[in-house]
Amino acid sequence: MSFTLSLLGDVRWRQRPVVGDRPQALLAALAARGCRPVPASELIELVWGEEPPVNGPKSLQVLVSRTRSACGAEVIARDGAGYRLGAAPGEVDSVRLSELVGQAVAALDQDAALAAERARQARALADGLPAVTGDSAGPLAKLRRAAAADVDAARVIQARASSRMGAHGAALPALEAACAGRPDDESLLADLLRSEAAVRGPAAALERYERYRRGLRERLGTDPGELLRRAHRELLALDRPVRRGLRYDATALIGRDGDLKRLRALTASSRVVSIVGPGGLGKTRLAHAIARDAAVPVVYVAELAGVSSADDVVGEVDPCSASATRFRAAGS
């Protein structure tokens, strides 16, 4: 994707390099405010830092004029007592990066597949982001540090989304690294425990949980929250998984990898998932394939094809399946 202003790599305006530290700092300062108007006094402080010029307003006017001469008159617009960038937020790569990460975070608990895709897009957008040394100052360095934090967040969201879609082997290393940096994030730890159980077995995940529980008790005198306790109960049940009513196909399910991936993502974030379509499309095979691979400890499959009355549904559904994942394949 081509951006009007690029700040995550070489600084460019409409694909043309922006030369000079001060013009680059000015554009970065305007972009960092989400392309909103920035008062002149604030811009002077941002661009010159602890060494402001003797005549700040005049120096800023000269810098704006220089930047316009190099990039085009539309690059910076006067707005009241300040200036704004001559580009919309979606036309600036650093702003778009932040938007993508925000969308990934918002989607994680509702649509894992969407969260993974937005996180992937964010990481691809920042590919080649230069490293910023700890003592680097100025708006461009600050903007790139914020971008690096966004990339780290995207990496974690992508791993968590992958875990919730069943890609535990790929997610596990990134989740372990993320938990090392955020040891008190119980939601993140719950995702790690599920992936570790899938890859290394429930015993390994239970050991990690117990270390966390003991440490929390010693440090704060409290117990894990409900979300993590629920994950713990799932791990305990994985030692004795319940699978009832499943079919095991004699032949492989070919050409449905995309459907399986989407269904896994949906079942990770939704209480009820319906597979709809005409008869013979393979809805029941898909439902059984998802049920067989489900990471939850209890799965019941209730066949309703022969049920003719709503009252008979209750008799087909096991009353003990309250904690089970439910799948429904319905004709259109």
* Res 250: pLDDT: 66
Q: First vs last Cα of the chain: how many Å apart? A: 39
Residues 202 and 291 grouped into a single domain: no
Given 60, 88, 116, which residue is the final one in a domain? 88
Domain hosting 310: range is 244-331
Least confident of 53-62, 66-75, 82-91, 270-279: 270-279
Given 37, 69, 88, which residue is the final one in a domain? 88
Residues 163 and 180 grouped into a single domain: yes
What's the rounded Cα separation, in Å, for the pair 160 and 173? 11
51: domain CATH number? 1.10.10.10
Residues 24 and 158 grouped into a single domain: no
Number of domains in the chain: 3
pLDDT, tens only, 201-249: 888 999 999 999 999 999 999 999 999 999 998 888 776 667 777 877 7
Residues 198 and 118 grouped into a single domain: yes
Residues 232 and 273 grouped into a single domain: no
Residues 233 and 189 grouped into a single domain: yes
pTM across the whole model: 0.72
Residues 230 and 111 grouped into a single domain: yes
* Higher per-residue confidence, 330 vs 142: 142
178: domain CATH number? 1.25.40.10
Using the predicted structure, report yes or no on whether residue 322 has a pLDDT greater than 50: no
* Res 327: pLDDT: 47
Count the alpha carbons within 13 Å of 209 in the hemisphere toward its beta carbon: 28
* Higher per-residue confidence, 298 vs 149: 149
Residues 61-85, mean pLDDT to the nearest whole number: 93
pLDDT interval class at 279 (50, 70, 90): confident
Closest CA to 232 of 212, 216, 217: 212
* Res 253: pLDDT: 78
Residues 129 and 217 grouped into a single domain: yes
Residues 112 and 212 grouped into a single domain: yes
Residues 248 and 234 grouped into a single domain: no
Q: pLDDT above 90 covers what percent of the chain?
A: 61
Given 48, 68, 88, which residue is the final one in a domain? 88
pLDDT interval class at 270 (50, 70, 90): confident
* Res 332: pLDDT: 38
Residues 139-167, mean pLDDT to the nearest whole number: 94
What SS3 state is found at 274? strand
Residues 67 and 100 grouped into a single domain: no
Residues 139 and 204 grouped into a single domain: yes
DSSP code, position 127: T
